[in-house]
Amino acid sequence: MTQANDKPTSGHFTKTPGWLDWFEGPSRPRFRVPVGSVDAHCHVFGPGAEFPYAPERKYTPCDASRQQLFALRELLGFARNVIVQATCHGADNRALVDALVHSQGLARGVATVKRCVSDAELQALHEAGVRGVRFNFVKRLVDFTPKDELLEIANRIHALGWHVVIYFEAVDLPELWDFFTALPTTVVVDHMGRPDVALPVNGPQFALFEKFMREHPNVWSKVSCPERLSLSGPKALAGEQSAYRDVVPFARRIVEQFPDRVLWGTDWPHPNLKDHMPDDGLLADFIPHIAPTPELQQKLLVTNPMKLYWPEEC
Ligand code: 0GY
């Protein structure tokens, strides 16, 4: 199926040239996720006319509303979402909060805040369902924020029982190591720290990430975004092979070593993809390749995210 690229961005915005829109009409996955599964990494974009994109953004997406996100959740068979503030909204969390308060308690959030955020604002975010903040170190997405500011924020949100989500690329882990290991909270890494999957899974780059998790029991990882990391792409080979097969050994290794500290998410609506837009049904079908047993699937999709985002229900 060819994917049309005609989704609008509303308000006075114009999409970034070459922007790929999220996939219309994803397939129903063959893999049936466990009852109560959580899509623990997804976003909303705008709609721009209602929730304007931030002036400091590095891209302008097509709109992707909470209604569209919740429809995808139903189609894939998930029960809940964790919505992560996207960089195109900067530290203006209104679209995120709007999605949370209209979720009937079925969504929690990860916000972006600045040092100047007041205690009252943090409390209001908590009441809306925010349980973490995201620190982003991917240079194409954000401008630099001094680490002392981030540490100050981490200490303040620690008091609320929140955690820190970190997004970085594998080559930057050595330089960021001291800062990450000084964080006082649970620390959740996006997309396994973006390993270069052309390198060996047994090589030094991924070994450093495994050491990071092994030596720091407060560090968790999302084993998400094969479509971002893969060089082999979505086409499965005949037989048992999976789509995005070059990512499987990396993600499976993390799931099997740290089964109680992994999360999975669709990453819908998939910002900044350049090559192809994934069919979200196909992404769900990737799960049993990286979490091959029902026990691992239950931990990855239900037990772990519930413990982190809905501990009161555990
Ligand atoms: C992701 C990845 C990306 C973007 C963002 O907030 C964002 O803009 O997270 C990316 O471009 O790699 O996790 O959604």
Which residue in 240, 201, 112 sits closest to 164, CA to CA?
112
For the question of residue 98 being annotated catalytic, the response is: no
Which residue segment(s) compose the domain that 65 sits in? 38-313
pLDDT at 241: 72
CA of 267 to the centre of ligand 1 (A): 8
Structural domain contains residue 3: no
Residue with tokens 């302008």: 60
pLDDT at 311: 97
Structural domain contains residue 14: no
CB atoms within 10 A of CB 170: 19
Structural domain contains residue 215: yes
pLDDT above 70: percentage of residues in the chain? 98
Confidence grade of residue 242 (pLDDT, cut at 50, 70, 90) = confident
Q: Is a pLDDT exceeding 90 seen at residue 136?
A: yes
Structural domain contains residue 90: yes
pLDDT at 140: 95
Alpha-carbon span 114 to 307, nearest angstrom:
27
pLDDT at 4: 75
Structural domain contains residue 27: no
Alpha-carbon span 42 to 299, nearest angstrom:
19
CA dist list (Å): 75 to 28, 65, 213, 261, 269: 7, 16, 33, 26, 15
Which residue in 159, 109, 111, 108 sits closest to 133, CA to CA?
111
- Top pLDDT among 240 and 33 is at 33
Confidence grade of residue 146 (pLDDT, cut at 50, 70, 90) = very high
pLDDT at 26: 93
Q: How much is the mean pLDDT over the chain? A: 96
- Find the DSSP H helices in the chain: 66-76, 94-101, 119-128, 147-158, 173-182, 204-215, 226-229, 248-257, 280-290, 294-298, 304-309
Q: How many residues does the chain have?
A: 314
Confidence grade of residue 204 (pLDDT, cut at 50, 70, 90) = very high
Give nearest CA residue, ligand 1 atom 13.
267
Mean pLDDT along residues 285-289: 96
Structural domain contains residue 8: no
Mutate to test the pocket of ligand 1, among 81, 138, 169 (most ligand atoms within 8 A of CB): 138
Structural domain contains residue 170: yes
pLDDT at 239: 61
pLDDT at 235: 84
Q: What are phi and psi of 81, to 5 degrees?
A: -130, 150
Mean pLDDT along residues 88-105: 98
pLDDT above 90: percentage of residues in the chain? 94
Q: What is the CA radius of gyration of the chain?
A: 18
Residue with tokens 């397939």: 27
Mean pLDDT along residues 251-255: 98
Mutate to test the pocket of ligand 1, among 22, 39, 42, 43 (most ligand atoms within 8 A of CB): 43
CB atoms within 10 A of CB 57: 18
3-class DSSP assignment, residue 313: helix
CA of 251 to the centre of ligand 1 (A): 18
Q: Which of 39, 267, 279, 280 is catalytic?
A: 267
pLDDT at 240: 58
Which residue in 234, 212, 238, 215 sits closest to 225, CA to CA?
234
Q: Which atom of ligand 1 is nearest to the CA of 228?
A: 12
Domain count, the chain: 1
For the beta sheet containing 262-263, the strands, ordered from the edge strand earlier in sequence to the opposite edge, are 38-42, 80-84, 107-111, 130-136, 163-167, 187-189, 219-222, 262-263
pLDDT at 236: 77
CATH number of the domain at 301, please: 3.20.20.140
Give nearest CA residue, ligand 1 atom 11.
272
Structural domain contains residue 85: yes
pLDDT at 5: 87
pLDDT at 223: 98
Alpha-carbon span 67 to 44, nearest angstrom:
9
HEC assignment per residue over 14-43: CCCCCCCCCCCCCCCCCCCCCCCCEEEEEC
Ligand 1 pocket residue status of 190, Cβ below 6 Å: yes
Q: What are phi and psi of 35, to 5 degrees?
A: -60, 135
Q: What is the pTM of this model?
A: 0.97
CA dist list (Å): 227 to 26, 176, 265, 266, 273: 15, 25, 12, 10, 8
Ligand 1 pocket residue status of 265, Cβ below 6 Å: no
Alpha-carbon span 35 to 37, nearest angstrom:
6
Using one digit for the tens of pLDDT, what is the confidence trace for 264-274?
Answer: 999 999 999 99
Mean pLDDT along residues 143-157: 96
Q: Is a pLDDT exceeding 70 seen at residue 119?
A: yes
